[in-house]
Structure 1
Amino acid sequence: MATTRSDPLTLEVVELIGTVVARYYEEYDEAAAAHSLTGAQARVLGLLALEPMPMRRIAQKLKCEPSNVTGIVDRLESRGLVERRPDPADRRVKLAAPTERGTRTARELRDSLTFAREPLAELSDADRTMLRDLLRRMLGETGPATVAPPSAP
């Protein structure tokens, strides 16, 4: 039997996903504030801890305007958490990259996020694998997933 978008089970799952996302953002913003960062600054720092990238790519990942990213990177740079460097593949392009302090701060932020990690640890490997695979299917992904901070809402 095919389900519709308005069946009770689908509506409950959608509501639960929304609650999980809201609680994750709330915890992320609290962790950012503990480091005197905004949620957006923490998300940019988390992205850059994965790999240095140009402003345009940061904006694409966060689904925002590049001009917003420039201001965020400026503030992170003034705090010594991020630096701009030439892209080795194209010297005309500047990459935003975390400093050593920025990498350490991003790690501390990630490590302080316990809302989802602790309940997930209580699930079996099989349950976590099934959940991961179902989430990938929802996102239309089939390959290995990468761990990243939440993007801007």
Structure 2
Amino acid sequence: MLPTDPAPGAADVLDRAALAGDVVRQVERVAAAMHRERQIGLAKLGLTPAVARALHELDPDRPLPARALADSLGCDKSNITALVDKLEQAGLVQRRSDPADRRLKTILVTDAGRRIRAEVRELAAEFRLLDGLTDAELGTLRELIGKVSNAACDGDPCDDAAAAAGAACGEVPAP
């Protein structure tokens, strides 16, 4: 007759697997809710995620060549052209000739772009989903998520630009 009880330690493995699965499902729910809330906030500002990401990557104090923006987003230059067109049409950036090499165009964040960029940054800090956490809990959550995030990258440059490259490069609907 075969034993019906799991081997010693097997229950611990099953409990850990169930716990990990529950954590993953909850993280996915939170991520989906945060994504939805961010989409709504960006839409209120007249931005798509791709356009907002491009604006975020620009340094308001230093004009940036389009090629450098493409590199930082992990995009093809042709996609950056469309993103910069949308930013320029919205009055958030201007294209200017590089004084050192007039053949190159640089992207300069306008005053309106600075204001909108600041509002986009505030969106991240205003997630009502986190309102129920104390400062200490928020700090602990940041540490734990950072630990998981760092493990996911496993020493690779796993930054936001690389993770968001598809979204930042792929869609370019009008803001």
TM-score (norm 1): 0.68
The structure number with the bigger radius of gyration is 2
- Once the 2 structures are TM-superposed, how far is the Cα of residue 83 of structure 1 from its aligned partner? 1.7
Aligned to 1:15: 25
The one-letter amino acid paired with 2:44 is A
**Does 2:152 correspond to 1:138?**
yes
Name which of 93, 105, 118 aligns with 1:107: 118
Unaligned residue ranges in structure 1 (runs of 5+): none
Find the residue that maps to 1:83 and give its secondary structure. strand
Unaligned residue ranges in structure 2 (runs of 5+): 1-8, 169-175
CA separation of 1:74 and 1:126: change in aligned 2, threshold 3 A: closer
Taking only aligned residues, the RMSD between alpha carbons, in angstroms, comes to 4.0
Q: Distance in 1 between matches of 2:118 and 2:160?
A: 12
TM-score (norm 2): 0.61
Find the residue that maps to 2:127 and give its secondary structure. coil
Aligned-pair identity (%) = 33
Contact 1:120 1:128 (C-alpha < 8 Å) held by counterparts? no
Q: Distance in 2 between matches of 1:16 and 1:88?
A: 51
CA separation of 1:137 and 1:59: change in aligned 2, threshold 3 A: same
Q: What are the residue-to-residue correspondences of 1:3-152 with 2, within 5 Å?
A: 7-49=17-59, 52-86=63-97, 92-113=103-124, 114-115=126-127, 118-119=130-131, 122-124=134-136, 127-128=140-141, 130-131=143-144, 133-134=146-147, 135-140=149-154, 151=164, 152=167
